[in-house]
Amino acid sequence: MRDWWRGSVTYQIYPRSFQDSNGDGIGDLPGITRRLPHVASLGVDAIWLSPFFPSPMLDMGYDVSDYSDVDPQFGTLAELDTLLRTAHDLGLKVIIDQVISHCASTHPLFIESRRDRTNSKADWFIWADPKPDGGPPNNWLAIFGGPAWTWDAGRRQYYMHNFLAEQPTFNFHNPAVQDYFLDVLRFWLDRGVDGFRLDTVNYYFHDPKLRSNPALPFDRPPINPYDMQDQIYTKSRPENIAWLERMRALTDQYPDRMMIGEVGDALRGIPLMGQYTKGEKRLHMAYSFEMLDDRFSAHFFRSTVERFFEGAPDGWPCWAFSNHDVPRHAGRWSDHGRPADVARLSAAILASLEGSVCLYQGEELGQTDTELEYRELTDPKGLRFWPDEKGRDGCRTPMVWDGTAQGGFSTGTPWLPVKPPQAARNAAGQEGQADSVLSAYRDIFAFRKGHKLLRRGRTRFFDLPEPILAFTRWLGGDHLLCVFNLGPAPVALTLTGAEGTLGPGHDAVLDVNELRLGPNGYAWLSVGKDVTVAPA
């Protein structure tokens, strides 16, 4: 099906932490292949593999030194081919990360570029002369701390990097850079991958005039000074659209392939998602960090979805509550109920949203972040801003498969520790348990997969007080009412036009025209077009 991605469910796999097959403490491709039946059992449509390319691993693979190979610690190209075949045999599409806004400083392209100012790759990266006082050309800052410029003694110039100094930023104003990356995408498409997750998709272009970013107002300085600037000259530039269209044109040469972009812009995330997916010539899908923070309310979920479709009625979003960059939502939203209840409720909400959705490994177990000590950290963000910013390692600790040593992840010492609170939420311990989070995920996403209007239908929200979120999904003459209690106390609603409950609801009782939901309860109901919902 050409648009299989529309309404799809994707499962994100962080290769270092999924399954170690050789006892070195690092997850790998054969380990992923071994565990694919578990992923398929969730009823998802695709997997997304975070980077597995050769890398110095200063940013855990998001600093690529070779775009057309597999890092030896993860396996080989032949083992990737085996993974692709196995996934496809299980009915799973395979999406791979493409980290092309920047590379590792050990990449041959950057080594050549920094050699002098006249070599063939001299302008493949962003170089600038110093100010007369020796300082960098402007005020641009790096996300991981400090200036976005590092001095290179050989060229007697600064080079730009949005992240670590060891992650120089490509100059996409150079058409040769674009052509190079089209060849990279073509390499993987020819190998049989089904699509790309484009890392930092709004970071490809910078302001060629190198104008300084304006300041943002604040009452108290944030942890990271990067957040004190409006990044209008370092990302989300208008030139990005034409490049997205070039990538889409290539992807469309291959049947049933897709692209999803990660939009990192705290001020413009939802509008950019709409802009980047509008029509048929740009990205197929996009997601931002909008639903990956602490906000948890009916108003928040409703306004986020409505803002997207108002801004881009022909665009397509992908919603996620957790990933490898943010604290896991079962813990992040724990003020609103018990972690297991919040995990089930979150799955139900996510499965009901208009758009496509993405799950992060361990989410189906109700997994929470691991509390780590400073000596256990690997993430440059945590190492730089500890203890006020603990970094991303807490959500990246190994998948816990069973109750054995190291949670069944490895026979060696894992690269990040498996600790008791996480070990208690292991997959084997939840297998076959009707009240487990794992069972809830399987039931909920099977329900979504079996109902076309949840994957393709439109949405109409009801005006209700917090903490009640309610909306209908409709397609043609079919209507489904989705109702969620986002709070830890029971609620009751009066309904008209409800024909009965459907699917795997939780702590929900329909008594004639009254629906009662327990703490974090939810229900799906078959309804008519004129259904009404009101507080009891």
CB 155 within 8 A of CB 46: no
Residue 281 backbone dihedrals phi, psi, to 5 degrees? -120, 0
Q: What span, in angstroms and rounded, lies between the C-alpha atoms of 286 and 113?
A: 32
Sign for the CA dihedral angle at 183, 33, 107, 158 comes to: positive
Cα–Cα distance between 400 and 418 in angstroms, integer? 8
Query: Which residues is 11 bridged to in the sheet?
Result: 47, 359
Q: Given its phi and psi angles, is residue 75 left (phi above 0), alpha (psi -120 to 50 degrees) or beta?
A: left
CA 496 to chain centre: 38
Say which residue the tokens 């108003």 belong to: 299
What is the C-alpha to C-alpha distance for residues 457 and 26, in angstroms, rounded to an integer?
Answer: 41
**Residue 355's closest CA among 320, 321, 318, 322?**
318
Q: 28 and 427 in contact (C-beta within 8 Å)?
A: no
* CA angle (59, 60, 65) in 5-degree steps: 80
Distance CA 5, CA 9 (A): 8
Sign of the Cα torsion 287, 288, 294, 295 reads negative
Reduced to 3 states, what is the DSSP secondary structure of residue 155?
coil
> d(Cα 485, Cα 336) in Å, to the nearest integer?
10
Distance between CA atoms of residues 315 and 311, nearest Å:
9
How many C-beta neighbours within 10 Å does residue 84 have? 20
CA angle 469, 473, 475 (to 5 degrees): 175
**What is the length of the chain?**
536
- Catalytic residue numbers read 199, 262
Q: Which residues contact 362 (CB under 8 A, 6 or more apart)?
A: 328, 399, 400, 425
